[in-house]
Amino acid sequence: MQYHKHEAVIVGAGGAGLMAALYASKSVDTAVISKLYPTRSHTGAAQGGIGAALANLEEDHWEWHAYDTVKGADWMGDEPEIEFMCREAIDVVIELEHMGLPFDRTPDGKISQRPFGGHTNNITKKPVRRAAHAADRTGHMILQTLYQQCIKNHVHFYDEFQVVDLILNDGKVAGVVAYEIATGELHVFHAKAVLFATGGFGRMWKITSNAHSYTGDGNAIALRRGIPMEDMEFYQFHPTGIRGMGILITEGVRGEGGVLINNEGERFMDRYAPTVKDLASRDVVSRAIYLEVKAGRGINGEDWVWLDVRPETVNYYFERDDIRNP
């Protein structure tokens, strides 16, 4: 058994864990423990973009972003936190750019943005281009950028270590226990502060775009130690993926003009969200697909629909809806 001592230990090396480690490392000795190599974390599966009301291509405001987020949560989100996130998102995206994240650019050199589900102009109610993107690899580039910044700031990394328990001292967290996957050897990490950024538990579903690593380890460890969980019922479903395979089809495909079609050849989102259509929030689109299938309008009577990205289809609906092809 080996022993380690750091002031702060962060479990998980996705976007949240790496950003937390980067900020902590500016003032304290910081370590990141991850069962994966950091750039293999599931943040890399995020493709289409990161929401921030930069207004680089059209009018936008963080207040609109906040309203869309509250509305997309069916008014059950924590509004002060949502307001903080949407207001700060602008500076965070610019900060990531300064760190070296290679965002796509407009012809005049600004960070490019694309439409995304649930992002609207609060006056016209039509989609607004709010998602800043790095091609279809936005999450991957976030990981690469943050990891390099952490290395630069001397964060200690323990890659391919599986955390199995918390260390408690008089009821207070004092570190974690992990084993090194390659050797099976136990390691004890003592720390003044421990942060779990371990992701979710999406692998509990049969078909999912979640990585095989999404097994709820952090949740289970905390529950075993009597730490309560909050809002466990709020698990978001992404409406588009390759049938039967669980491979994500980014929301950006619909942002660039892809449309959902049922077995009658109908663009059915016209009925469920007449203004934003295929760019409604994810819960609305997921529910619409479910209702179409339940009504017998799935393709060939089965439990799926088409995502049509043929140029003739995209151009037809751009012209019909009077939308400029991005």
Question: For the segment 204-259, what is each residue's pLDDT rounded down to a tens digit?
Answer: 888 888 888 999 999 999 999 999 999 998 888 889 999 888 888 988 899 889 99
Domain of 304 in residue numbering reads as 241-320
**Inter-residue contact 135 to 104 (CB < 8 Å):** yes
271 counts as catalytic: no
Same domain for 149 and 215, yes or no, is yes
Q: Is the pLDDT of residue 156 over 70?
A: yes
Domain final residue pick, 105, 136, 167 = 136
Domain-embedded: residue 234: no
Catalytic residue from among 137, 243, 282, 287: 282
**Inter-residue contact 58 to 127 (CB < 8 Å):** no
Same domain for 35 and 61, yes or no, is no
Number of domain units in the chain? 3
Q: Is the pLDDT of residue 323 over 70?
A: no
The amino acid at residue 201 is F
Same domain for 123 and 268, yes or no, is no
Report pTM: 0.87
Domain final residue pick, 71, 102, 136 = 136
Same domain for 152 and 7, yes or no, is yes
Q: Is the pLDDT of residue 320 over 90?
A: no
Domain final residue pick, 136, 166, 193 = 136
Q: Is the pLDDT of residue 325 over 70?
A: no
Same domain for 17 and 166, yes or no, is yes
**Torsion over CA of 119, 122, 123 and 126, rounded to 10 degrees?**
20
